[in-house]
Amino acid sequence: MHKVIKGALVGSAVGGGVAALQASRAPDPERDPVPGILKGAAQGAAVGGSVGLVLAWRAGRKAKKAAAATPVAKAQRGIGLISAKVEGAVDRALDAAEAALPHVEEFAERATTSLQDMADSTRPHVRSLTGTAREKAFDLTGVAIDSARPHAYAARQRAEQLADIARERTTEAAEAAQKRAGELSDEVRARVA
């Protein structure tokens, strides 16, 4: 989950920074920029958290694939529990998220440079806004984690169900193969005799 938190924090910093930059360039200088900055930070946190969630899920999936080199896992793949179309769509979505990550990082670096220049001229306001944005980012991160938990639990239960089905099918296939091997060896003995 650390990738989700890191993504949300980076996203909120970028979103808040972009909103602050836009607010500084607004034609009406007397307008309060705090709501716009908070909204930008919240939107950035949501996007960053989503990207982090996808990347964390993919990293976990790759780790499971690496650990799944057992004969049972090979039998599960042979049985075909996962549809190739669904897996291809998931891989394309994950590849798109990975491709977007360098652009987000580059944008974050540019926004950070702009924010530093702006912070020099408006340091007292930026300090106040940064504290507020940080608190909101942690609140939003907590909400994102809480909303992701039921989905993670549901996915875990579904994976356990699929694993149980695969074990049953593998056991049945092994027993059938063992029975057939016994029958064949009896036939061979009978023919030899």
Residues 6 or more apart from 79 whose CB is under 8 A from it? 166, 169, 170
**Structure tokens belonging to residue 158:** 């579904």
Average pLDDT, the chain: 78
Residue 126 has pLDDT above 70, yes or no: no
Do 51 and 6 meet the contact criterion of CB atoms below 8 Å apart?
Answer: no
Residue 140 has pLDDT above 70, yes or no: yes
Query: Residue 118's pLDDT is what?
Result: 67
What is the percent of the chain where pLDDT is above 70? 82
Q: Read off the pLDDT of residues 85-117 as tens digits, 9 standing for 90 and up.
A: 556 666 776 787 777 778 777 877 777 777 677
DSSP 17-35: HHHHHHHHT-S-TTS--HH
Whether pTM > 0.75 for this model: the answer is: no
Q: How many CB atoms lie within 10 A of CB 40?
A: 24
Q: Read off the pLDDT of residues 25-61 as tens digits, 9 standing for 90 and up.
A: 877 767 787 888 788 888 888 888 888 888 888 888 8
Query: Residue 69's pLDDT is what?
Result: 58
